[in-house]
Amino acid sequence: MHESTRRQLCRIAFLLVCLLPTAGVVVWVGVTRSSIYQRVRLARWQSELSTQWGLSVSLQAVSEPRRGVTLLDGIDVSDPETGAAIATIRQIEIGQHRGQRVIIAAQPEVQGDQIDRLWSAFHERILRSQWAGGSIVSVHVGELTIHRDDRGRSTTLTDVRSRIEGTAEGPQVSFEFRDVALQMVEPARVRVTRQRASAAPVTRWELDTRGTPLPCTLLADHLTALQWLGSDATFQGSLQIAQHPKGWQGELAGRFRSVDLDQLVSQRYDHRLTGEAQVLLRRARFHDGKLTDAAGDIFSPGGVVSRSLLAQADHSLGLVADSRVHDLQADMLWRYRALRFGFEITPEGLQIVGHCDHPSDGVVMMDQYGPLLTDQPDGIIEVTALVQTLATPGGHQVPATAEAYRLLHVLPIPSRSGRRDQIASPAVWYSPLRLQ
């Protein structure tokens, strides 16, 4: 081969192998580092996330520190209609590991009053979407802060892990978390499944607190009934509910501790009852948004009770008040020493059995001098008597009050009643927990 030909070939090889690739890399780096490209990529990510989440998402920066890894910085999530801030996340790292998409979120902060909106978007965009079978997304959060109100109160969860996957039933999301304020040996678990096996798909919730009681304030902003239990109330147990078109169905079992009877009764009704109580729910079943049956025990070591509540319990609830209650005409407060009874609610009625530590059997409430309330053996009364007792300062009929209305919507009202003309049972629109 002639020398000039060899030189020509070397020049062509240098151009193809060295110069052009180097120039291509320089051009690629220049383009990807340009402000125009950054703005286009930022807008594309914001548009994709807003579409996927069904919310308004804004980002401060997007980068790819290494192949297959994307960093999103300064994420702000808001409601597209009202513009209300929902969440902020300092940084999100997206990558792949063993065939799974892995998302690591750094320091997310969620506004507590917007959790319902966040869940609604997640439910519509993820659980009700076409989720490919076998695809898995893992989400890891070191610390999640939930701001509960404008007074600076917040809840911090740590070791938050979530897994989204397609199953034979439908998309399933599982959560594990620990509350930083509690010494939790095991993380609490929540699992949400979109069941599509039937003609009408439903969303099923499962909660297991494991070995640690969880503060009821964690969900009190969203389950209004938990607000009635007081700021120190905790729950340890399990919950399984399904969201059907006609209402919630499921079962609750567990123990509520540090229940504030003053907030549960005195601040909502025309009677006075104070003290700290424990409520053990052996079962509480719901169907179509109404309580169908429940059984458990209630215990309080002492507090204050008004005469009006004692008298109304004797009048409406099928209990027997001590003669000291009947001897007084004016309302007064009694300091009781123990309140302990078991209860069972079924469509047939309500039964209360006293368990106070007293020589007499069936003592429901007692003070230092003896029994204040005693049960009646084999006494079963209509559950509407509970409404009369709590929501009525006196009289026979169920009052037309907001509190009575709420109780009537959740309690199992018998289909046949001798007092149907006195009791109206409107259409159900309350969930079993969210009474508002």
CA distance 275 to 204: 35
Rg (CA), the chain: 31
- How much is the pLDDT for 333? 87
- Can you give the residue ranges of every domain in the chain? 55-212, 251-436
- Are 249 and 293 in contact by the 8 Å Cβ rule? The answer is no
Residue 415 exposure: Cα atoms within 13 Å on the Cβ side: 1
- C-alpha pair distances (Å), 340 with each of 276, 277, 323, 364, 375: 12, 9, 20, 6, 11
Note the pLDDT of residue 436: 34
What pLDDT does 274 receive? Answer: 94
What pLDDT is stored for residue 404 in this prediction? 52
CB 168 within 8 A of CB 193: no
10-residue block means of pLDDT along the chain (436 residues)?
73 71 66 68 90 91 87 94 93 88 93 86 84 78 84 82 86 89 84 82 88 80 76 90 80 93 86 93 86 92 91 87 81 89 88 91 92 85 77 52 55 51 34 37
Half-sphere exposure in the Cβ direction for 144 (13 Å, CA): 23
pLDDT of residue 257: 93
pTM: 0.74
pLDDT of residue 32: 57
Cα distance between residue 75 and residue 9, in whole Å: 53
Kindly give, in sequence order, each residue whose CB lies less than 8 Å from that of residue 333, ignoring residues fewer than 6 positions away: 272, 304, 305, 306, 307
Q: CA-to-CA distance for 20 and 43, rounded, in angstroms?
A: 31
User: What are the structure tokens assigned to 83, written together?
Assistant: 């513009």
| Contact between 294 and 281 (Cβ < 8 Å) | yes
> Quick one: tokens of 112?
């507590």
Residue pair 310/394 in contact by the 8 Å Cβ criterion: no
Question: Which pLDDT belongs to residue 428?
Answer: 35
